Structure 1
Amino acid sequence: MNSKIIKTLEFEKIRQQLAKFAATEIGKQQLLTLEPSTTFEDVQRKQDESDDGRKVLRLKGGIPVPRLANIGLPLKRLQIGGNLNGKEIAQIGRVLSTTKEVMSFFDWFREHEIAFFHLYEIIDGLVDLPDLRKRITSSVSDDGDILSDASVELRRIRQAIKSGEGAIRTKLDDLIRTKASYLSETLVTIRNDRFVLPVKQEYRNAFGGIMHDQSATGQTLFIEPQAVLELNNKLRTLRADEKREEERILYELSALLELHIQELRYNHEILAILDMINAKARYSESINGTKPHLSKENHVAIWAARHPLIDQEDVVANDLLIGEEYQALIITGPNTGGKTIALKTLGLIQLMGQAGLQIPAAEDSQIGIFTEIFADIGDEQSIEQSLSTFSSHMTNIVSFLDKANDQSLLLFDELGSGTDPQEGASLAISILDYIGAKGSYVMATTHYPELKVYAYNRPGTINASMEFNSESLAPTYRLQIGIPGRSNAFDISRRLGIPSQIIDQATGFIQEDNQSLNEMIADLEQKRRKAEQESHRLEKQIQESDRLLEELKRETETLEFAKQKEIDKAKKEANSILSKTKEEAELLMQEIREMQMNVSKNAQVKEHELIGLRKQFDDLRQEDTVPSNKVLRREKEKKKLKVGDEVITESYGQRGILVEKSGQDQWVVQLGIMKMKLPETDLRRIQPEPEKETRRTKRQIATVRSNTASHVSTQLDLRGFRYEEALQELDSYLDASLLAGYPQVTIVHGKGTGAIRKGVTDALKRHPQVKSFDFAPQSSGGNGATIAVFKG
């Protein structure tokens, strides 16, 4: 994008404000040269990064990047084999410490699963060098001084220096006490890195030694007494040793840093990027900025746009729309009404948005992606070129007229001004037609009434004006799109006291077309005000609706949270109950197995024992503590259990047949010779195999049809069964009848071939609980049925 637009729209002032929020030197330099991007992908990424920065600022107060010096030059010197001083090493150490702090800072966001567009990807580029970081921290202070912990030798030397300085001061203190009258001041001072005393000129020979300096008057001599001469020499030697050791340590540290130049450079650059993201977020917060949507079609809709360089308490917000319904916006109206500010606001917000900055506008605003923004704003004459205002404008316009295309935004302030009004208006119309043919987007201000008609008649072009309050005789700085501006000269003059005769005569001089146009504009303004009042009323209703909707959402979220909490609690209680019940059931099942194993061939399990165990199973049922749990209810509904279904019990892993429903959520289940009441949540229906469906239906008819309280009939009808099925049904039926406590039952087997009748007879002979059996009386079926009597 051309550099001239940066100056024309004062984007460099935005850069300067932005740079104040930067902490690193390199970040500040990059923000001062920030350029708008011209591709959709680049702008989208930069906007996403700024949005990430706002999220961090909102949640944790910003990214913790401290003030860091630019370590680019020290890294270059390392790259060519040079050594660094203590201050440069300390600066690199600060970068390494900040790298670790930033990585740890973002661990919190990962743990809480906070989503970002790009920050995690950026952070993952940082490289922690713990050994190098600790070595620098223990060797160099923040100011660049070499610490005594840098080496054992350095610590020894500094301890010796401290001891030597103490010895020298002790001797000099003794001299001060004994010869205080010889001294100008009773203190120890230093000259040429050696300890000396301020001696009066007349006693210069009283101490011996060497004179290092004298006062301006010559009355005081700074003498190193003979008594400390040798101690000072030793101290000087120790300080030379200290300097050599410090240089050795710096050389060693530089060699270690040289091995990690690439990682250090990456860390430095990434911290600068994070610093810029942080600065953009803080700047956005300061102007109450919002993230704009991006339009590839350059449909610009900036709601409540505010010029960022005007005090936010004084600035008037305006909606700026261009690109979708129209590509040219012609603003007319009087001077000082805010037309130029509207131009600059559109251009500057576009530059900010394309540079990745959030914009001073309302939520859901949308900007375009322009490859170039050109502007002809201002009326300063070019003194050096001796150009008039008109020539200056035309020279500027010519410089970008041929460069404009369908991806360009052009801003014209007072297009065609500075020359004869008729010629200027004609030229302005021709320029707009030329640019319109290229498909460029245009926003222009003008005083010419001819351009009002032009905007009305040309497709893709619309009138606009700056509102003027004729009562207060002051502009409101509000942009009115769709309404051309009108001159307020007559209204203002009338309110200021110009006689009506003069106003009426002046009105007569205006052409009839112009007068009609002004009347039309006045009518449009009146209708706009009415529409605006209605809009405000509807907006208040919408805001109230939004408020109620938000309250409803919050209440719903609270209710959902409480409901889920109760569900979780119910699940825990149910699991606890089921676990306890399963343990008790296992003990009962084990007892039954032991009883069956202990039964001899001729022995019998007493009926009351089986019934007693069955009652213990029934006693295991727990009261349903979560009757309102919708999740469990839905699971029950999914099963769609019915009488005769074959099921498996989740707790015992046993198959059984549903005999009857007992209560709302329980079933009586036939488990072999036992019948149990089990909760519906513990039952899972086994999908029937197609070929067994008919048999299962017969079983339901044979075993379930009953008018008794137990729902087990005293008569079993085996007619229509195959031999194997009939015997299986007979076995199950006898067990059920015994558990029901019947003294006798009737088995209807029919006459037929006699096979099933014989099978029934054989089965009854073998059954240990059948006392006797015989054919039924002739009135009850004769030899087509058998009556079996159970043991008492």
Structure 2
Amino acid sequence: MNPKVLTTLEYHKIRARLAEFAATSIGKERAESIEPCPDFETVKRLLQATDEAFKVDRLKGGAPFGGIRDVRKALSRARIGSTLGPSELLDIALTIGGGRKLKRFLLAMHENEPIPLLAEAAEPISENRDVEDKIKSCIDDAAEIVDSASPELARIRHELRTSESRARDKLEQMIRTPSIQKMLQDSLITIRGDRYVIPVKQEYRSHFGGMIHDQSASGATLFIEPEAVVALNNKLRELKMQEEREIEKILIMLTGCVAEAADELAVSVEALGELDFVFARAGLARALKATLPIMNDRGFLKLKKGRHPLLNPAAVVPLDVELGNQFSTIIVTGPNTGGKTVSLKTIGLLSLMAMSGLFIPAEEGSQMCVFDAIYADIGDEQSIEQNLSTFSSHLTNIISILKGMTPKSLVLLDELGAGTDPSEGSALAIAMLEYIHQIGCRIVATTHYSELKAYAFERKGVINASMEFDVQTLSPTYRLLVGVPGRSNAFAIAERLGLPRPILEMARGRVDEDDKRVETMIASLEANRATSEAERRKAEQQRAEAERLRAQLEEEREKFREQRDKLLAKAEQEAKSAVANARKEADEVIRELRRLAMEERGAVKEHKLIEAKRRLDQAAPELRDKRDASRASAKKAEAIGVGDEVRVVSLGQKGHVVEMAGDGEATVQLGILKMKVGKSDLELVGRAPAAKPAQTASASVKRSRDENVRTELDLRGSNLEEAIIETDRFLDESFLNGFGQVYVIHGKGTGVLRAGLQDYFRRHKHVKSYRLGNYGEGGAGVTVVELK
């Protein structure tokens, strides 16, 4: 990309802004050298990486880059055998630790929220724990070699501290002696040249032996090393030299470890710098409130509410523009200071940002194109030294653009044809636009020439545009109106400013009729556009209101679902509780039946069985809705007659009405038991069929056969207790229906159910005889019972 174009479009300011979001010096360096890329696949990959970093930033608040340093120079020095200092080694250890933390963070994030490109970029990061541990075991956080770095260093420093203590103690004794104190300038111990000395007054020099190491600026004080501590100071000096040699050995050892892993660490540092650069792009997107553009390689550009990234977001007017679909050339006309140049720069700069892998400050759904080059001739570059006029400077730039452009280029031309005679300038502008248009470039050009409006109107693939101007306030609105050419507005402005009417009428009379018709047409277009804009805004408001209502309805539906789920859960809990209680009651009834069977040797009284059945039926939870209750009430209200099949509500048993009493009671046959029941406690089940005439007045009513009553009972899968209860009910109903023979299916199985039932048949009062089924009747799996 031409550096001059990047400067013209102020791309360097985007670089500087991007560098502010880098966490490391490596990332900052990459941000400051970012370049637009003309390759479509590479740009898509860059934008995807930025999008993944933006996702991490949104979900996790950013990535951890703490401790990471630019250690590339230190690694290079380690490769050639130079000994690294403690601070350089500490930076390498911190970088290894910071890189490991970042890598594990991104890989863990990738498991929950896929970020494939960032995970791939993090793979080369070294987790060389050995080098890090060795460095940190020898160097502390203040970049000092610790005593435990080696046994020899620990021994030397121990002796060094002991010797220092002895030397200080010796001098402390001296300066506390009264005879010596008067000779001292100050009662303190100081160091000169790594040797302990005391400050002595000049006049007492002869009273002290030893060596003079320094004197004050005035010469009144001498810093003397007394003879009593010379040997101790010599010992200290020797120990310090030993300490330095041991530290040198440790640094050489650590540098060797770094040199062995230098290539691996260099790759790791590059990966860390790349990741920091990606997250810097995400940080810039967050600051600009930018969005991910949809990229294409077919020369199509569509900006929705695009904003210049270097202008105040509160003051900038968003730009809506489409280029490269129905038309490839836009000619923008309008007054000065109307925003034409800003529109050009916005289109160019946002294209550069998208091609650099950066989000653009525009609404979602904006589309950008990857151009092989962007050319711009914007601004006045006249030069006195080079004897170039405004027209010459523009023409020089355009000639260089014509030489380098291709069908995949974007060309931005400001004030095309300006700076020369209007007729010649407009002719040249039309010719240059036609030539560039035929090449197939995408062009956005600004001009003041009215001839270009007619060219854009007549030429296919070229469209007019203008910067909106408010005649009422005499100020531009900075809105780009595509499809509407700009008007000069000179007469309207002059009239509002108070120019005398005769002058205005004279001026209007000198305007050609063609120009007047053009101005009228443009005014009509502007009015129609204003109407359509108002309708569009109204439609958007209605759509927003519909969306709001839809969201509100969905929220209410969700609340209803939650309430329904809560009620269902509560009902289910209540049902479970009712079933549990029913099971508990059933268990008690079964235990009671067993106890009675044991006490009465199986001859359980009928009324006791009926009572047990009633308890079981009452234990079962009733889940009837209101409609069931209303139907039951309606059946109760119906007239019940003799012979009708009824249900005794309080007992839960079915029977037949034998006799109707006049006192609100009825005699009901329940099995072999007759009992009087109040009519209000009866529920109609079925009407009695037409009864045969009674032979005697005292004969009891015999129930006719019910077609719903079967002659067989299937007990397979039941236990013995359940089977006896069901069999008893079945035999009672069969007896009442006058059946002579019934079939009880119990299956073959282990024979326990068959043996228990046959023992029960032997004692049952309705059973005349029983036998196993014959061939074709079920064999040993069926017992055929003959009733009395």
Task: Write the distance in 1 (CA, Å) between the matches of 2:609 and 2:126.
Answer: 74
Q: 1:717 to 1:250 in 2, by over 3 A?
A: closer
Which residue identity lines up with residue 136 of structure 2 in the other structure?
Answer: T
Letter in 1 for 2:8: T
SS in 1 for 2:207: coil
Give the AA of the match of 1:457.
Answer: E
In the alignment, is residue 62 of structure 1 matched against residue 59 of structure 2?
no
Counterparts of 2:513 and 2:355, CA distance in 1: 47
Is the contact made by 2:67 and 2:98 (CA closer than 8 Å) also made in structure 1?
no
Q: Does 1:737 align with 2:736?
A: no
Aligned to 2:436: 435
State the SS of the aligned residue for 1:18: helix
Q: What is the CA–CA distance in structure 2 between the aligned matches of 1:269 and 1:590, rounded to whole Å?
A: 82
How far apart are 1:335 and its partner, in Å?
1.5
Q: Deviations over 1:668-718 (max 9, x none)?
A: xxxxxxxxxxxxxxxxxxxxxxxxxxxxxxxxxxxxxxx999988556499
Unaligned runs of 5+ in 2: 626-648, 650-701, 714-725, 743-757, 771-783
Q: Secondary structure at the match of 2:468?
A: strand
Paired amino acid for 1:417: A
1:153 paired to 2:152: yes
Matched ranges for 1:36-55 at <5 A? 36-55=36-55
2:85 aligned residue:
85
**For residue 641 of structure 1, what is the aligned residue in structure 2?**
none
Question: What's the CA shift for 1:57?
Answer: 2.5
Whether the 8 Å contact between 1:329 and 1:463 is mirrored in structure 2 is: yes
Query: In angstroms, what is the RMSD of aligned CA positions?
Result: 4.3
Q: 1:625-644 to 2 correspondence within 5 Å? A: none
Counterpart of 1:301?
A: 302
Question: Aligned in 2, Cα 1:292/1:551: closer, same or farther, shift over 3 Å?
Answer: farther
TM-score of the pair, normalised by structure 1: 0.74
User: Which residue identity lines up with residue 128 of structure 2 in the other structure?
Assistant: L
Superposed displacement of residue 453, structure 1: 0.6
Preserved contact between residue 294 and residue 368 of structure 2 (Cα < 8 Å): yes
Give the letter for the 1:164 counterpart: S
Q: Quote the offset at 1:590 in angstroms.
A: 14
Distance in 2 between residues matched to 1:412 and 1:500, nearest whole Å = 38
* Alignment CA distance shift 1:286-1:450 (3 Å): same
Shift of 1:537: 2.9
* Counterpart AA for 1:742: F
In structure 2, the CA distance between the partners of 1:748 and 1:430, relative to structure 1 (3 Å rule), is farther
Q: Check 1:255–1:558 CA distance in 2 against 1; reply closer, same or farther (3 A cut).
A: farther
- Alpha-carbon distance in 2 for matches of 1:319, 1:272: 36
Higher mean C-alpha displacement, 285-294 vs 17-26? 285-294
Partner residue of 2:658?
none
Distance 1:329 1:171, change over 3 A: same
**CA shift digits 1:617-644 (9 cap, x unpaired):** 978866779x9xxxxxxxxxxxxxxxxx
Where do 1:381-400 residues align within 5 Å? 381-400=382-401
CA contact (8 A) 1:23 1:67 kept: no
1:518-597 equivalent positions in 2, closer than 5 A:
518-557=519-558, 560=561
Name the counterpart of 1:18: 18
Listed one character per residue, the Cα deviations across residues 760-785 of structure 1 (whole Å, up to 9, x for unaligned) are: xxxx9x986784489xxxxxxxxxxx
Question: Taking structure 1 as reference, are residues 56 and 582 closer, same or farther at Cα in structure 2, changes over 3 Å only?
Answer: farther
TM-fit CA distance, 1:22: 0.9
Q: Which residue of 1 aligns with 2:636?
A: none
Partner of 2:731, secondary structure, is helix
Deviations 1:483-505 (A, max 9, x none): 11111222333333332222222
Q: Aligned in 2, Cα 1:566/1:249: closer, same or farther, shift over 3 Å?
A: farther
Aligned to 2:176: 177
Describe the shift of the 1:421–1:555 C-alpha distance in structure 2 as closer, same or farther (beyond 3 A): same
The aligned residue for residue 284 of structure 2 is 283
**Residues 388-433 of structure 1 deviation map (CA, whole Å, 9 limit, x = unaligned):** 2222222212223243233211101111222222122112112211
- SS of the equivalent of 1:367 reads strand
In the alignment, structure 1 segments of 5+ residues that lack a partner are: 628-662, 664-706, 719-732, 750-763, 775-786
Partner SS, residue 205 of structure 1: helix
Does 1:162 find its partner at 2:155?
Answer: no
Q: Partner of 1:294: helix, strand, or coil? A: strand
Q: Secondary structure at the match of 1:406?
A: coil
Q: Which moved more, 1:36-45 or 1:419-428?
A: 36-45
> Structure 2 vs 1, CA of residues 495 and 737 (structure 1 numbering), >3 Å: closer, same or farther?
closer
What is the SS of the residue equivalent to 1:171? Answer: helix
- After superposition, the Cα gap between the structure-2 partners of 1:583 and 1:375, relative to the gap in structure 1 and judged at 3 Å, is farther
Percent of aligned pairs with the same residue? 41
CA offsets, 1:317-340, max 9 Å, x none?
A: 221221222211100112221111
| CA deviation after TM superposition for structure 1 residue 235, in Å | 1.6
**Aligned residue runs from structure 1 range 652-691, under 5 A:** none
Instruction: Tell me the residue number matched to 1:235.
Output: 236
Report if the CA contact (8 A) 1:63-1:274 is conserved.
no
The residue type paired with residue 526 of structure 2 is E
CA deviation profile, 1:716-761 (whole Å, cap 9, x unmatched): 499xxxxxxxxxxxxxx98983375636754799xxxxxxxxxxxx
Report the CA distance between 1:103 and its aligned residue: 4.1
Looking at structure 1, the residues matched to 612 and 263 of structure 2 have their Cα atoms a distance apart, in angstroms, of: 80
CA 1:562–1:460 in 2, change beyond 3 Å: closer, same or farther?
A: farther
TM normalised by structure 2 equals 0.75
Match of 1:493 in 2: 494
Alpha-carbon separation, structure 1, partners of 2:704 and 2:273: 85
Q: 1:610 to 1:250 in 2, by over 3 A?
A: farther
Q: Measured at CA, do residues 570 and 504 of structure 1 come closer, stay the same or move farther in structure 2, by a change above 3 Å? A: same
Counterparts of 1:151 and 1:567, CA distance in 2 = 73
**3-state secondary structure, aligned to 1:416:** coil
Q: What are the within-5 Å matches in structure 2 for residues 599-614 of structure 1? A: none
Aligned pairs for 1:7-406 within 5 A = 7-66=7-66, 68-106=68-106, 109=109, 113-116=112-115, 118-178=117-177, 179-406=180-407
Match for residue 505 of structure 1? 506
Shift of 1:553: 4.0
Cα separation, 2, equivalents of 1:77 and 1:188: 42
CA distance in 1 between counterparts of 2:210 and 2:535 reads 101
Tell whether the 8 Å contact from 1:168 to 1:231 is kept in structure 2 after alignment. yes
